[in-house]
Amino acid sequence: MKAVMVCSEGPDETLALGEMLAKWLRPGDTVNLVGDLGVGKTVLVKGIATGLGIDPATVTSPTFALIHEYTGSVPLYHFDAYRLKRPEEWEDLGYEEYLRGQGISVVEWGDLVQVYLPPQHLEIEIKRVTETKRQIWFRAVGQHFDLVIDELGRELSHAGLGDRYCYGNR
């Protein structure tokens, strides 16, 4: 599995990473965003949205609504499985309909509805290091996303991040 890890030193860097990632996402792609409560998943989605030409101030937590839809250069479907009591409740959303659509799907807490995720997706895990530092792992689940990891890796290797960045094939 191809993977890239970056250390983010603050919300602005996480936003910038999301924006960078957005360039490599294509219609129909699914991103699974995992990490503890309040770690920065929605912040990263704001970054992705920015990259798609969406005003990040309008991107809010979809925990209550389960899904927010945004119109950018490509439609952005922003899901959140946090408050589901049982994974089956996901079916009430008409989730497959969205996946068949021409948008990019980003799922916060996607690990809670793993069975409903397409076999090929990009997994992003955010880990808390300190109050403002985060480790952000990008992993290609299925070869379709190997290219995305390669491109991200290339771009980040030129960013002069030193040991705050690593790229690998495990």
Partner 1 sequence: MAEKQGLPEGPGALVLGIETSCDETAASVVRDGREILSNVIASQVDLHRLFGGVVPEIASRKHIELIMPVIDLALKKADTKPEALSAIAVTYGPGLVGALLVGLSAAKAMALALDCPLVGINHIEGHIYANVLQYPEVEPPLICLTVSGGHTDLLYIDEYGHYEILGRTRDDAAGEAFDKIARVMGLDYPGGPEIARMAVDGDPKAIDFPRGLMQADTYDFSFSGLKTAAINHIHTLEQRGEELPVADIAASLQAAIVDVLTNKTIAAAKAYGAKTVFLSGGVAANEGLRTQLDLLATAQGMRVYYPSPVLCTDNAAMIACAGYYRYRRGERSPWDLNAVPNLRLGET
* Residue 41 binds Mg ion (CB under 5 A): yes
Two structure tokens written together for 139: 């992993």
How far apart are CB 161 and partner 1 at their closest, in Å? Answer: 24
Residues 6+ apart with CB under 8 A from 100: none
Q: What is the helix (H) or strand (E) element at residue 128, kind and residue range? A: strand 121-128
- For ligand ATP, the closer of residues 82 and 150 by Cβ is 82
Mask for 15-54, x = binds ligand ATP (CB under 6 A):
--------------------x-xxxxxxx-----------
Near partner 1 by CB under 8 A: residue from 14, 19, 21, 68: 68
Near partner 1 by CB under 8 A: residue from 9, 16, 61, 120: 61
Q: Contacts with partner 1 in 100-139 (CB under 8 A)?
A: 131
* Residue 108 binds ligand ATP (CB under 6 A): yes
Query: Do the beta carbons of residue 6 and residue 136 sit within 8 Å?
Result: yes
* Residue 68 binds Mg ion (CB under 5 A): no
Return the range that interacts with partner 1 (CB under 8 A); candidates 24-32, 55-63, 100-108, 158-166. 55-63
Residues 6+ apart with CB under 8 A from 127: 35, 36, 39, 134, 135, 136, 137
- Written as one string, the DSSP assignment of 106-121 is EEETGGGGGGGS-SSE
Residue entry with tokens 């704001």: 46
Residues 6+ apart with CB under 8 A from 70: 49, 52, 54, 58, 59, 76, 78
* Residue 164 binds ligand ATP (CB under 6 A): no
Residues that bind partner 1 (CB under 8 A): 36-39, 42-43, 57, 60-69, 83, 92-94, 131
Residues that bind Mg ion (CB under 5 A): 41-42, 61, 108
